[in-house]
Amino acid sequence: MNRVLGALKATYNFFSGDAILLGAAVLAFAVGWLLAHPLNAPDAVVAVVFVAIIVASLFVTLRREIAGRPRQR
Amino acid sequence: MGLLSGPLVGVLIAAFLASTVEFVEAFTIVLVVGVTVNWKSAFIGMAAATLTLVVLVGVFGTALVIFIPLPVLRTAVGFLLILFGLKWLKKSVLRYAGVKALHDEEAIYEEQQAEMRARGERPSNAIDPFGVVTSYKSVLLEGLEVAFIVITFGSASASSVAARASGITYAAVGAVGALILVAALGAVIRAPLQRVPENTLKFVVGVMLTSFGTFWGGEGIGINWPGEDWFLLALIAFYLLATFVLITWLRPYGKHSAKAAGANEIAAAGEGH
């Protein structure tokens, strides 16, 4: 069991290693697909939402990295 | 140059840059084995790992190209490239902003060498199993990311099976070019390749992986990008701009200047031994 968990953790670290980035990528694809297919939203809307989620994930994970750090002058 | 060659050239460049970063990191360990044990063991380990990687690319690359439909492949590849790209971008943005210390090959070299000497490894002429395994592991681990990029980039870069196969070839050529360059530089310098701007390369590759991932992933979920392949340039420009904004935002939180970060790592390595 420990080996299975170890292998899963190694795979997770290899591909992402960051739960925020992983969750956001899943969200971007899920929301993008929902907008593009069942909702038939225009391409521009799907593209903007898709890219916005990706960039937002980078912002959120970076914000977590600096949490608690003092801002230097 | 047709429309096809634009992304293929991008594939070649991205594979070359990504491979350069990974091979520079692997070379540091191979160098430690070469200097501390012997070059024979270092090269055997490196050659065996390279062979393993070639087999992986050949088997998985061919299987993906032949058996997986393009829309499914592009969605999966886009997803994975976005994850990889964001991971690399995050690291390089933090390093540029001074929040995280720069990767320092000299410090890593000294640390690894001290570890091997502490194990009792001494220069000899015989093939040393520990030296071979250490060299093999480092090249294989660093090379796995390269193999992944070669397979995914190459297989999703075109629409026909033949063109996708040539996409893998382009990506592999980029990776082999990087290996030859790093090996040649290493053979001449015989020291850790500190002057290779690893963070800049990581940043450029992060932008490229994220852009290609967004493009192919978007196509996979049904987005028709305006201007087709040319829209990749707009995505690259957008991600460059976004990351520059993020670096500027993070800079006041950074405590390392680039030089200080390197010095800190060396000092930390020295204290550890």
**Residue A9 in this model has a pLDDT that exceeds 60:** yes
The two tokens of residue B193 are 């390749």
**Could you report the per-residue pLDDT of B93-111, keeping only the tens digit for each?**
999 888 887 766 677 777 7
Chain B CB contacts of A37 under 8 Å are 221-222
Label residue A57 left, alpha or beta by phi (over 0 means left) and psi (-120 to 50 means alpha).
alpha
What Cα–Cα distance (Å) separates residue B140 from each residue in B84, B144, B162, B164, B224?
A: 18, 6, 28, 25, 38
Q: Contact B87/A59, CB-based, under 8 Å? A: no
Q: Contact B86/A54, CB-based, under 8 Å? A: yes
pLDDT bin (cut points 50, 70, 90) of residue B167 is confident
* pLDDT number for residue A50: 96
**Could you report the per-residue pLDDT of B67-101, keeping only the tens digit for each?**
778 788 888 889 998 998 999 899 999 998 888 87
Q: Which of residues 80-109 of B touch A (CB under 8 A)?
A: 80, 82-84, 86-87, 89-90, 93-94, 99-100
Q: Quickly tell me which residue has 């493009």 as its tokens.
A: B215
Q: Pick A46's closest partner by Cβ from B89, B100, B223.
A: B223
> By the CB < 8 Å criterion, does A33 face chain B?
yes
